[in-house]
Structure 1
Amino acid sequence: MSRHAERKYRAVTAVQRRIGNPVLRRLPFQTLLETTGRVSGLPRRTPLGGRRVGDAFWLVSEFGERSQYVRNIRANPRVRVRIRGRWHTGTAHPLPDDDPLARLRTLPRGNSLAVRVMGAELLTVRVDLDDRGGLRPA
């Protein structure tokens, strides 16, 4: 990672961890990805953007393999995704061979723009959803 990309990563993740994520997690219709912490074993909820297409939820990680939720997925791909206030279980698959810029063009514009501007090592992730209707809010 270049020096510029490293500085960008540190700045963006600091703001997300301290300000953005704590606020966004509380919004009832914010999309959340819940992974299991690879060290703690505790649920970790990350606000993000993406789109459900059929029985899959698609997203692009702005820092790819460096994103904590991607590292958690690598350790345990079983996840939950809250979409429009309803939880869905699934299995997440990082897709390094997918073109993340092309994928962003199929996802919600606002989030896609933020990912392009703030990101440095984009990575597509697909979550294959197990259930059709979703679980009750937790």
Structure 2
Amino acid sequence: MPRPTDLSLKQRAITAFQRRVANPLTRRLPLQTVLETTGRKSGLPRRTPLGGRRVGDTFWLVSEYGEKSQYIRNLKADPRVRVRIRGRWHEGTAQVLPDDDPIARLRALPRMNSTAVRLLGERAGLLTVRVDLTS
């Protein structure tokens, strides 16, 4: 886990707001897309509201803080995930794609989320994730 000095002030402020205010509210919205990972230390389910797009049997997303994101660390420890899309849960296997162009990928994802990721995230830290859905 990064020490507080490893994180930018912007990231600390945004992450604190997301963790304490935005995420608890938005993950309860029935149509909000949610990624469920398994906590790498606790083994408990961890649910993160996010944006992305399903294309066939694949779900694409871009992490605004890349390797610094807790859900990225969790899915790297255990790539089995669930994604709630339009109120329905789908199991899948996540794969981090460091060689993918996250800026180009954002152009293919929902505009509102892509704009938020660009504004709130750290451009050098953006990271593409592909989830291969099995159900």
If the length of structure 2 is used for normalisation, what is the TM-score? Answer: 0.93
> Equivalent of 2:8, from 1, 6, 9?
6
1:99-118 matches, within 5 Å, as 99-118=101-120
TM-fit CA distance, 1:9:
1.0
Partner Cα distance (2:17, 2:118) in 1: 17
Instruction: Indicate the residue corresponding to 1:136 in structure 2.
Output: none
Root-mean-square deviation over aligned CA pairs: 1.0
Runs of 4+ in 1 over 6 A off after TM superposition: none
SS in 1 for 2:40: coil
> Equivalent of 1:88, from 85, 90, 97?
90
SS in 1 for 2:32: coil
Partner Cα distance (1:21, 1:41) in 2: 20
TM-fit CA distance, 1:122:
0.4
Structure 1 position 19 matched with structure 2 position 16: no
TM-fit CA distance, 1:8:
1.4
SS in 2 for 1:60: strand
> Equivalent of 1:129, from 127, 130, 133?
133
> Equivalent of 1:53, from 52, 55, 76?
55
Q: Which amino acid aligns with 1:108?
A: P
TM-fit CA distance, 1:7:
1.2
Instruction: Indicate the residue corresponding to 1:64 in structure 2.
Output: 66
Partner Cα distance (2:120, 2:10) in 1: 7
> Structure 2: where are the runs of 5+ without partners?
none
| Count of equivalent residues | 128
Partner Cα distance (1:88, 1:102) in 2: 25
Per-residue CA distance 1:67-107 (angstroms, 9 max, x = gap): 00000011000000000000000000010000000000000
Instruction: Indicate the residue corresponding to 1:134 in structure 2.
Output: none
TM-fit CA distance, 1:50:
0.2
TM-fit CA distance, 1:33:
0.1
Q: Which amino acid aligns with 2:44?
A: L
| Percentage of identical aligned residues | 73
> Equivalent of 2:41, from 25, 39, 42?
39
Partner Cα distance (1:8, 1:119) in 2: 9
> Structure 1: where are the runs of 5+ without partners?
132-138
Partner Cα distance (2:10, 2:53) in 1: 26
Partner Cα distance (1:91, 1:22) in 2: 24
If the length of structure 1 is used for normalisation, what is the TM-score? Answer: 0.91
